[in-house]
Amino acid sequence: MIDPNEVEFTAIRAQGPGGQNVNKVSSAVHLRFDIVGSSLPEHIKERLLAMRDQRITKDGVVVLKAQQSRSQEANKEEALRRLQELVDSVAVLPAARRPTRPTRSSQRKRLDGKSKDGERKQLRGKVSL
């Protein structure tokens, strides 16, 4: 779980249509989270920094923008939820893949299919009289 004290919020004006509310109210939120200075476990920090994600800067800071809602509080919750999803995505290790070999019958089926395709394509040639 992410410590809310490690997250920095900045209120900004939202983009797009919305009339006077968009023009006057800073309801969108920029979330900044420093991966290196956080209290996350080291293996999660390493995997986050190794991600090739445009939301993570070269300095190891996650920057998220939330502007779906008209409420600043709802946008803060949305940004925190998305940050938690990002951290959770690297927390689960992928299963180690064990290399396997194709069975004899699958090899035979593949070669039979290739020879049948070749025979079919031979029939597509010009007809000699």
Distances (CA, A) of 54 to 41, 64, 109: 22, 10, 45
- Domain residue spans in the chain? 4-91
Residues 119 and 108: their CA atoms lie apart, in Å, by 17
Per-residue pLDDT of the chain (129 residues; tens, 9 = 90+): 788 888 999 998 888 777 777 777 788 899 999 998 888 999 999 999 998 889 999 999 999 999 988 888 999 999 999 999 999 999 888 889 999 999 999 999 999 999 999 999 988 988 877
Q: Which helix (H) or strand (E) holds 111?
A: helix 104-122
The architecture that CATH gives domain 4-91 is 2-Layer Sandwich (3.30)
End-to-end CA distance of the chain: 79
Q: Are strands 7-12 and 28-34 parallel, antiparallel or unpaired?
A: antiparallel
